[in-house]
Amino acid sequence: ADSSSSELAKVYPLPPSSSKKSVLKEDLKTPDSHVERDPRLIRLTGVHPFNVEPPLSDLYDQGFLTNEDLHYVRNHGPVPRCADEDMLDWEFTVEGMVDNPITMSVRDLLADHEQVTYPITLVCAGNRRKEQNMVRKSKGFSWGAAGLSTALWTGVPIGDLLARARPRRGARHVCFEGADKLPNGYYGTSLKLNWCMDPNKGVLVAHKMNGEKLHPDHGKPIRIVVPGQIGGRSVKWLKKIIVTAEPSDNWYHIYDNRVLPTMVTPEASANLPDVWKDEKYAIYDLNSNSAICYPAHGEKIPTTGENTSYNVRGYAYGGGGKRITRMEVTLDKGKSWRLANIYYPEDDYRAAPDGDTLYGGRVDMWWRETCFCWCFWSLDIPLDDLCSADDIMVRAMDEGMMVQPRDMYWSVLGMMNNPWFRVVIQKENHSLRFEHPTQPALMPGGWMERVKKNGGDLSNGFWGERMTGEDETVVVESEP
Amino acid sequence: ADSSSSELAKVYPLPPSSSKKSVLKEDLKTPDSHVERDPRLIRLTGVHPFNVEPPLSDLYDQGFLTNEDLHYVRNHGPVPRCADEDMLDWEFTVEGMVDNPITMSVRDLLADHEQVTYPITLVCAGNRRKEQNMVRKSKGFSWGAAGLSTALWTGVPIGDLLARARPRRGARHVCFEGADKLPNGYYGTSLKLNWCMDPNKGVLVAHKMNGEKLHPDHGKPIRIVVPGQIGGRSVKWLKKIIVTAEPSDNWYHIYDNRVLPTMVTPEASANLPDVWKDEKYAIYDLNSNSAICYPAHGEKIPTTGENTSYNVRGYAYGGGGKRITRMEVTLDKGKSWRLANIYYPEDDYRAAPDGDTLYGGRVDMWWRETCFCWCFWSLDIPLDDLCSADDIMVRAMDEGMMVQPRDMYWSVLGMMNNPWFRVVIQKENHSLRFEHPTQPALMPGGWMERVKKNGGDLSNGFWGERMTGEDETVVVESEP
């Protein structure tokens, strides 16, 4: 069967096609002038380097899989160049504490190893960071709630390559290095060796995204993809895999992707190298998180129309392979909760028949319990209930029975922000208007900005709304 | 070397000896009249069945390892009898969806399989349930915060037995059944097959606890021990291991050890069989939790003595192998936090030399990243700070960056209770007196009982202390 007819028969979702893109005007004068991009992506760090998220509604509307047009991007610097005709000759190494060091090309990777295709959600550790920046400026730029995307990744399980290289006793970490040269050296980081060797974890050396060669922004020609962990570990433009006794000493491994203790201020952090180097504070697994996508920010719904309810909906994800097992919605600031419906499109891939292949890789999901992807949740709420509520908040619980917290855990890099996601309901003439916490980058809007402008204390654990007579012992919440 | 001299050389903790015990008077008229026990254990369900926790201070004082005298016990009914001389002949099966069903004796288990010895903390899913019962009565008895204990367990990794039995394709679960006959059949439950096959998970068929044959309350002659998961999965008096396509349909698997959604009331739950049967709500991994052990409940410390600080300390644990990476203490109800020190005695076992054995089992910990055990934390706090605070609260964060929540997640079985642990500070003449949230079983005492008696609303998320002028929108916290 040709690939299109076999795709028609699939029991699981396939990605939306990506569009024909061109180099954007704003990229012409940057080192990325060779990279074609979609103009809908929202730039979070000025023009360059390219750090972008899609509009949250566009992301949600595209469904379970996101094509390269809308997939979020986190680049630390210029995008390394690799022309189509050079892809197969791109070389990388497996070296360090191994008995059999390997230098191989992408050609070898394709020819000598069994390929797999998995759906994997990548999430930036900074997803939802704008909310942290509203409370207190962190050392990081302002992601909204769309710093995540899901694609079908095809490649080789990294455990196969490591087994071939034969790690020595005492080896415990696997360092990765990319081709992106930055002010503090090539980008690099590491994972634990055990995790790389564990088939349940699903770490890949990937060369296809949604069935196509990797887009330059996503690591062309090859990259690491780590399910369930923060995007910062999924090194792009891969050049080196180095087996070591200790975690990576790369600058970006130490000074990025960490959650320092909340009492460490940005000022103090400048003089605490031992705190930065403490692996306890390094982020690997994602924490559980969720967001409301609809109602969207600024959306208005009439209260006098024919609809008597609204379908509130959004996404959620766990970390380290954990499944989200419940989503709950409160309209009274946590006093009572309603149970939402959860939908896991990832489960459709588990139903693929044994031996099924896609894009040249086995869809090897049926035996695996771990979850690699986001899920969707929804709940019909009577309009009457929305009319009498101040806000909608949601929280996820994962299969380990850990629940998203009410309180923000602020930290100096502003990462892993996961308190209850709150959308405020504004009552207007015969309609309700909805406010998300923030808008990404420097975009204005959101209840956090409004509250802050009005002098509210966003760090008070009560969403800072109109405190009156506030002192150490009195909290008065806003009236509807 | 004989065992005593080899034990002297160990780099890791060894258990305190257990004492000579006898059958207690209260057990004489029960079916457990053959079981010798320590009188210090606090009975949580009347005289029989035997469900007990040690006094929290005694547990903490015994250190990392707990001997059988003080190890918590959760028995659903009478303890099955197995005389010393019958132990080796005790038979059990590995059956179900396997190509090679096995019936074997404990003698075979010892003779034919490699043995390992691991330190493992077992925790009852009901640990800290008394706090839930104070907020709203659940369908479960009142554990305090001492429903956990750590021992050295010796046995055979269950993956070795399963591999020998050769599970068939489609097999996904492993059911266990004990010899304890109960009103709803033999006690039984299940784990996922993947987890049983994963050496990182460390699931054992164990026959020794702290180097001795199992005490009757702990499963004599053999039991399952599952690190990182709730005690209810670690089936005692093991008779059957059954490989299946579906989770266990045993009554105790379905109607126990679940966290139903918080809005399900005890009354409603009686008519919701499909909710009970939904595996989403079954508990496997523990959630992250912590408690303050010192100051103890009722402890008084002088404010005028020579000490200018107090060493606040306690325990913490993660679930599913996750490590606790930070412990934080607040004296101002979460407005600010101090970082405590964490000590992981489990790490000492990782330092054991390759090939090291204990109690006839390999101490096979060096290569494993997962954590099987509790840890200890401590923080010196100036007395002046304690004198000006209302309470001490602590929270743990795990390596997945999930933090214990401020809010209790109440559920119908009252399990997995893990909000910030709170000790109230009472100011008395030249001294401070400390109140824990509760005391176990029907024992009076604790700030929750006091607050409830005074008409406080424990479900308000503010520890219910002396609310004045309370209505939907005004919260006034207590004055010092």
Is B261 touching A (CB cutoff 8 A)? Answer: yes
Q: Which of A192, A402, A411, A476 to mutate to test the interface with B (most CBs of B within 10 A)?
A: A402
Termini Cα distance of chain B: 61
Mean pLDDT, rounded, for B345-368:
93
What residues of chain B lie within 8 A of the CB of A405, using their CB?
403, 405-407
Residues A308-363: tens digit of each pLDDT:
999 999 999 999 999 999 999 999 999 999 999 999 999 999 999 888 999 999 99
Q: Hey, what are B126's tokens?
A: 């009901």
Termini Cα distance of chain A: 61
Considering chain B, what percentage of its residues have pLDDT values greater than 90? 89
Q: Which amino acid is at B30?
A: T
Q: Which of B198, B401, B408 to mutate to test the interface with A (most CBs of A within 10 A)?
A: B401
Mean pLDDT, rounded, for B6-19:
85
Rounded to the nearest angstrom, the minimum Cα separation between A343 and chain B is 13
Q: Do B338 and A461 touch (CB under 8 A)?
A: no
Cβ atoms within 10 Å of A445's Cβ, excluding its own: 15
Asked if residue A472 has pLDDT above 60, the reply is no
Q: Determine the 3-state secondary structure of A360 from DSSP.
A: coil
Q: Quote the pLDDT of residue A369.
A: 85
Residues A153-189: tens digit of each pLDDT:
999 999 999 999 999 999 999 999 999 999 999 999 9
Q: Distance (Å, rounded) from C-alpha B293 to C-alpha B438?
A: 13
Rounded to the nearest angstrom, the minimum Cα separation between A364 and chain B is 14
Active site residue A332: no
- Is A91 exposed, middle or buried (CB count within 10 Å of its CB: 0-12, 13-18, 19+)? exposed
Q: Hey, what are B392's tokens?
A: 């001490």
Q: Looking at chain B, which residue has its C-alpha nearest residue A473?
A: B477
Q: What angle do CA A374, A122, A18 make, to 5 degrees?
A: 95
Is A354 touching B (CB cutoff 8 A)? Answer: yes
Catalytic residue among B75, B250, B257, B289: B257
Q: Quote the pLDDT of residue A474.
A: 40
Q: Confidence class of residue A459 from pLDDT cuts 50, 70 and 90?
A: confident
Residues B260-277: tens digit of each pLDDT:
999 999 999 999 999 999
**With a CB-CB cutoff of 8 Å, which residues 147-206 of chain B face chain A?**
169, 172, 192, 194-195, 198, 200
Q: Quote the pLDDT of residue B366.
A: 86
Q: Confidence class of residue A255 from pLDDT cuts 50, 70 and 90?
A: very high
Asked if residue A471 has pLDDT above 60, the reply is no
Rounded to the nearest angstrom, the minimum Cα separation between B11 and chain A is 19
Q: Quote the pLDDT of residue B201.
A: 94
Kindly report the pTM of this predicted structure.
0.95
Q: Do A336 and B263 touch (CB under 8 A)?
A: yes
What residues of chain A lie within 8 A of the CB of B331, using their CB?
none
What residues of chain A lie within 8 A of the CB of B390, using their CB?
none
Q: Which amino acid is at A13?
A: P
Q: Looking at chain B, which residue has its C-alpha nearest residue A320?
A: B400
What residues of chain A lie within 8 A of the CB of B368, using their CB?
194
Q: Determine the 3-state secondary structure of B239 from DSSP.
A: strand
Closest Cβ–Cβ partner in B337, B369, B475 for A263: B337
Asked if residue B471 has pLDDT above 50, the reply is no
Residues B55-75: tens digit of each pLDDT:
999 999 999 999 999 999 999
Poorest-pLDDT segment among A469-478, B123-132, B376-385: A469-478
Closest Cβ–Cβ partner in B288, B367, B406 for A406: B406
DSSP string, A160-216: HHHHHH-BPTT--EEEEEEEEEETTEEEEEEEEHHHHH-TTT--EEEEEETTEEPPG
Q: Quote the pLDDT of residue B459.
A: 81
Q: Quote the pLDDT of residue A466.
A: 54
Q: Confidence class of residue B472 from pLDDT cuts 50, 70 and 90?
A: very low
Q: Do A286 and B400 touch (CB under 8 A)?
A: yes
For chain A, what is the radius of gyration of the CA atoms? 23
Q: Quote the pLDDT of residue A354.
A: 84
Rounded to the nearest angstrom, the minimum Cα separation between B400 and chain A is 5
Asked if residue A242 has pLDDT above 50, the reply is yes
φ/ψ of residue A70, rounded to 5: -110, -5
Q: Quote the pLDDT of residue B473.
A: 41
C-alpha pair distances (Å), B35 with each of B38, B106, B197, B215, B411: 10, 21, 34, 9, 34
Residue among B141, B126, B119 nearest B375 (CA): B119
Q: Quote the pLDDT of residue B8.
A: 58
Catalytic residue among B82, B124, B373, B375: B124
φ/ψ of residue A280, rounded to 5: -55, -30
Q: Quote the pLDDT of residue A206.
A: 98
Is B474 touching A (CB cutoff 8 A)? Answer: yes
B386 or B199: which leads in pLDDT: B386
Q: Do B402 and A399 touch (CB under 8 A)?
A: no
DSSP string, A362-425: E---TT-----S-EEEEEEEEHHHHHT-SEEEEEEEETT--B--SS----TT--S--S-EEEEE
Mean pLDDT, rounded, for A238-256:
98
Q: Distance (Å, rounded) from C-alpha A56 to C-alpha A421?
A: 14
Q: Confidence class of residue A476 from pLDDT cuts 50, 70 and 90?
A: very low
Rounded to the nearest angstrom, the minimum Cα separation between A80 and chain B is 32
**Mean pLDDT of all residues belonging to chain B:** 94
Q: Distance (Å, rounded) from C-alpha A328 to C-alpha A314?
A: 12
Q: Quote the pLDDT of residue A35.
A: 98
What residues of chain B lie within 8 A of the CB of A403, using their CB?
405, 409
Asked if residue A465 has pLDDT above 80, the reply is no
Q: Quote the pLDDT of residue A89.
A: 98
Task: Lay out the sheet containing A173-182: strands in order across.
Answer: A102-105, A91-96, A238-244, A173-182, A185-192
Q: Confidence class of residue A244 from pLDDT cuts 50, 70 and 90?
A: very high
Length of chain B: 480
Q: Quote the pLDDT of residue A364.
A: 86
Query: Is the peptide bond between B221 and the residue preceding it cis, with omega within 30 degrees of 0?
Result: yes
**Mean pLDDT of all residues belonging to chain A:** 94
Catalytic residue among A127, A133, A257, A287: A257
Residues of chain A by 3-state class (helix, strand, coil), percent to 5: 20, 30, 50
Active site residue A287: no
Query: Is the peptide bond between B227 and the residue preceding it cis, with omega within 30 degrees of 0?
Result: no
Rounded to the nearest angstrom, the minimum Cα separation between A17 and chain B is 34
Q: Is the CB of residue B150 less than 8 Å from the CB of residue B65?
A: yes
Q: Quote the pLDDT of residue B305.
A: 85
Considering chain B, what percentage of its residues have pLDDT values greater than 70? 95
Residue tagged 């709170």 (tokens): B422
Q: Do B285 and A401 touch (CB under 8 A)?
A: yes
Q: Quote the pLDDT of residue B115.
A: 98
Residue among A177, A196, A172, A233 nearest A415 (CA): A233
Asked if residue B467 has pLDDT above 90, the reply is no
Active site residue A256: yes
Q: Quote the pLDDT of residue B386.
A: 98
Mean pLDDT, rounded, for B86-95:
98
C-alpha pair distances (Å), A480 with each of A267, A332, A383, A386, A424: 39, 11, 16, 11, 11
What residues of chain B lie within 8 A of the CB of A322, using their CB?
400
